[in-house]
Amino acid sequence: MAAYFPDSYRGSFYETLFASFHPREQVLIGREFLGVSLRRPLRPRTFEMYLAQHNRVLTLPRFMWRYDKQVIYNYLKLVLRHYVFGATVLLTKIHLGQQLQAPSPGCVHDAHAMTASLINLNQHQELLDSKLDVLLAHLLKERVRHYYILCIVGFAIARELFSRSAMEKTLAAMANSSLPGSIPMGVELEFSNLGHEAPIDTTWANPSQWGRWRRDPAFHNMRLYHCFHLDHVSWRLGGYLDHHVGWRKYKPVPFCRVGGFMECCLVRTNYQRSSSLPYTTDTGLLSQTVEALIDYFPDVAPFSMHLNLEQTSSGLKNEPMVDDYICLFILGGDFGPDEQGKLMERRLGRDEIRGLAHRNKHYSSQDRQWHTVVEFGIVRLWRRHERPVDMQTIILTLKGFLGGYRIRQENINTMGALLRWAGTPCALDISALQRFCRNVAGGLLELGETVDTQEFEHRLLRTLQQRQQELFG
């Protein structure tokens, strides 16, 4: 393959930077720049022509320079973070491909390389920020608009930060915390500095709050998401803008910008989201991925997580009671004061979720078949220092719930009881907690999970009791 470099930047610092890469690395830069579009038919006659075509398309519009300089800076920093991450994944595969664990059957091939890259970059967060600041000042001064140049800069940063020995330690630590299982899993993570007010449907419900995006001075509630081509550069993380408007969900409309959640969908394999692939069957790997992904984007607040679990067996078929759902919210819900200052569970109380556990059909891009997937959308995300319950415990509990209970659409009586409890939450009896923990442990055993189910049952009970003590005294 021929190495491509745009003529408009000939003789510049960026050409010298590009020339410093090995020819193989230059080709990898091109592949990362094209991203998921490589899975489309290659119409141009050569790889170089394909890069030139995308270089013309992936360009920052000139009118963007009229916006707040700090907002432009924040968006470009987000773009570079994606390119640095992608470059680190490729470097990990090149230098340590033989040491990477094999992917789970039928799951994302690069899962271990992606998680290791996130963890490793988070260990150098301050150094990464300083390098991004220096290069962004240079890029903004010269008003660099072409994303191919940004991709080259991202690779240069990743190459400086990459350490084979440090990555080997990261991979060893990941192997030690592995919890292999049999259930394919994926996650969808929502990020927003406005929290539950991010999606546009909340604005339509209350038109007086139309300018609420100004309360997010860093990103203006992601209203410029498509202008900065984040839907393209975030392809490794299945990124898209989720604004809860079905009729234009994945289509940018320049004259009608709306904000929403910056979503990372680790089950997505194409732009149209017509096919998907689970991330892993390893609970330890998935929990580390979620925590590392939250840490990697320090400028955008985490909001919620949807856990997708493939339903491979019928489970034990225990009928879930209201108390069982309440246990899930005690573990992963969002408790805080309401408008009167009283404690409430806000995921339910503010109508943030559209169902507790519901079935979907996902079309696998690997075996070309439809798979039944159960999606749990109750989990509130927190920064590492704010997290009341560790992610591994939450994921194992939801897997045990899948194996231990009959999953079906909640009836109106169940939802009514949960909404009443969310308005005035209170602690559950020890017998309800014990029954829930016993059923969850039985569900994990039914699914063939490698975790010590007896030990986990006791640990889950202690966690629930401690959480109730923190919330209700």
For helices 164-176 and 111-122, the axis angle rounded to 10 degrees is 110
* Mean pLDDT computed over 126-150: 95
Residue 246's pLDDT is what? 58
Contacts with 329 (C-beta within 8 Å, 6 or more apart), sequence order: 345, 347, 348, 378, 418, 422
Tokens encoding 427: 């602690």
**pLDDT tens, 16-68?**
999 999 999 998 999 899 886 655 555 666 788 888 988 998 999 898 888 89
Query: Residue 361 — pLDDT band, cuts 50, 70, 90?
Result: confident
Share of the chain above pLDDT 90, in %: 65
Residue 439's pLDDT is what? 96
Query: Residue 198 — pLDDT band, cuts 50, 70, 90?
Result: confident
409 versus 446: the higher-pLDDT residue is 446
Tokens encoding 388: 């009341």
Q: Which range is least confidently modeled, 49-63, 232-246, 297-311, 434-448?
A: 232-246
Give the C-alpha separation, 100 to 94, whole Å.
11
Give the C-alpha separation, 214 to 203, whole Å.
13
| Cβ burial, residue 115 (10 Å; 0-12/13-18/19+) | buried
Give the C-alpha separation, 84 to 95, whole Å.
16
Q: Which range is least confidently modeled, 83-87, 249-253, 455-459?
A: 249-253
Query: Residue 355 — pLDDT band, cuts 50, 70, 90?
Result: confident
Query: Residue 251 — pLDDT band, cuts 50, 70, 90?
Result: low
> Rounded mean pLDDT of the chain?
88
* Mean pLDDT computed over 427-452: 94
Residue 442's pLDDT is what? 94
* Mean pLDDT computed over 328-351: 92
> Would you say 333 and 380 are in contact if contact means Cβ atoms under 8 Å apart?
yes
Residue 2's pLDDT is what? 58
Tokens encoding 138: 């240079």
Strand partners, 359: 374
Report whether pLDDT(188) > 60: yes
Residue 410's pLDDT is what? 73
Phi then psi for residue 121, to 5 deg, are: -65, -35
Q: How far, in Å, are 3, 358, 414 from residue 319 at the CA level?
A: 60, 15, 12
Residue 73's pLDDT is what? 96
Q: Which range is least confidently modeled, 14-18, 249-253, 457-461?
A: 249-253
Query: Residue 413 — pLDDT band, cuts 50, 70, 90?
Result: confident
Residue 259's pLDDT is what? 84
Residue 38's pLDDT is what? 56
Report whether pLDDT(122) > 90: yes
> Would you say 294 and 192 are in contact if contact means Cβ atoms under 8 Å apart?
no
Q: Where are the domains of the chain?
A: 7-261, 313-354+383-407+416-472
Cβ-count burial 48-83 (b if 16+ within 10 Å, e if not): eebbbebbeebebeeebeeeeeebbbbbbbbbbbbb
Give the C-alpha separation, 38 to 52, whole Å.
14
Query: Residue 209 — pLDDT band, cuts 50, 70, 90?
Result: low
Report whether pLDDT(203) > 60: no
Residue 42's pLDDT is what? 54
For helices 47-57 and 23-34, the axis angle rounded to 10 degrees is 50
Strand partners, 305: 189, 379
Residue type, 182: S
Query: Residue 300 — pLDDT band, cuts 50, 70, 90?
Result: very high
Q: From 207, 208, 264, 203, select the one nearest 237 (Cα to Cα).
A: 264
Report CA 149 to chain centroid distance, whole Å.
26
> Would you say 77 and 136 are in contact if contact means Cβ atoms under 8 Å apart?
yes
Query: Residue 375 — pLDDT band, cuts 50, 70, 90?
Result: very high
Q: Which range is least confidently modeled, 164-173, 267-276, 393-402, 451-460?
A: 267-276
The beta strands (E) that lie in 209-338 are given as 239-242, 261-265, 302-310, 335-337
> Would you say 240 and 265 are in contact if contact means Cβ atoms under 8 Å apart?
yes
Confidence (pTM): 0.92
